[in-house]
Amino acid sequence: MVVTPQSHLSSHHQPLPAEYQTTAEGRASAEAYYKDDNSNNTTSSTANMSPKLSLSSTIPLTNSKYTMPRLGFGIYQSPTDVCVNSCLTALRAGYRHIDSAQFYRNESEMGEAVRQSGIPRSEVFLTTKILSAGGSPEKTYQKCLDSVKAIDPNEGGYVDLFLIHSPSPGSAKRKEMWQALEKLVEEKKARSIGVSNFGIGHINEMKEYAKIWPPQVNQIELHPWNQQREIVDYCRANNIVIQAYCPLVRNNKAYEENLVAIAKKYDKTTGQVLMRYCLQKDWVPLPKSDTPSRIVANADLYGFELDGEDMEILDSLDQGPRGAIVQAVKND
């Protein structure tokens, strides 16, 4: 028999909430399970857990009164015809942080999902990114403003976080984009700004022209096989929040023996172990899926905690830049 990464889950593993069940029997079973779980929390899986992290946990942003939810939902390559439903599923599951980009071409769908959800705009943290400059400071600013309007077209609309997607356009274009983001902050169209895929040299260079420094966030690829310790240490030393994209390694490592063994130990999926690892590393993970059950499962991270030995095992899997599936930053 072929053993899949999820086949170890026991019959007592908590079911999906009733609203995600597809049969009457499944809905009744889920309702009974969660009713019993809530009425007798001494036997729940979280009974002996410290209240350090929960789905509502946030992390402060430097030089800001705002905070960011510690768990995000990524929508890279989420097609426009399914993106709204995926975002709605995530919001119903408790996510309050969604990550888009101009390059993803689904900014408006992200905003539409928030409006359809009925959740107040102020309670959802929305991110987007600019990949290329517009050709002049004003054109670049307008390009960013168009994104804000696509996401939150209401009067006074804003995004919670706007990032420069990549350092690849070059020094002059990076400066042009950063100054456009700073203007968004001045005009209250963006609450926080940051970068993505930036190395140490890129961030240090910003000191020459930035009014806002350090960037409040650096979003980079992070998982056990690509831990990018040099830039992570630098960001921590400078109070830059670290977001982790590709935390699930696009399922490429789902059968890795160490990961499967740890998942079996905690009666969790391999994806949940990878996500929990990110949280315990103080990274903000951005899992991506358009499958409703996986969206829900990727948020079920708070009834267990990886012990020190298992964190060390996962730490030992680091392969440096060759472990990246998208890219490792360049720090020189």
Determine the Cα–Cα distance for residues 64 and 60; give it in Å rounded to an integer: 8
Q: Is 316 exposed, middle or buried (0-12, 13-18, 19+ CB in 10 A)?
A: exposed
In the block, residue with structure tokens 């900014």: 107
Can 165 be counted among the known catalytic residues?
Answer: yes
Which 3 state secondary structure label does DSSP give 47? coil
Catalytic residue among 8, 97, 165, 223: 165
Paired residues of 128 in beta bridges: 162
In the block, residue with structure tokens 């690849």: 168
Catalytic residue among 104, 158, 245, 277: 104
Determine the Cα–Cα distance for residues 301 and 72; give it in Å rounded to an integer: 13
Can 95 be counted among the known catalytic residues?
Answer: no
Cis peptide before 214 (omega within 30 of 0): yes
> Packing angle between helix 137-151 and helix 107-117, nearest 10 degrees?
30
Give the DSSP per-residue string, 242-303: EEEESTTGGGTTTT-HHHHHHHHHHT--HHHHHHHHHHHTT-EE--B-S-HHHHHHTT--SS
In the block, residue with structure tokens 């984009």: 177
Residues recognised as catalytic: 104, 165
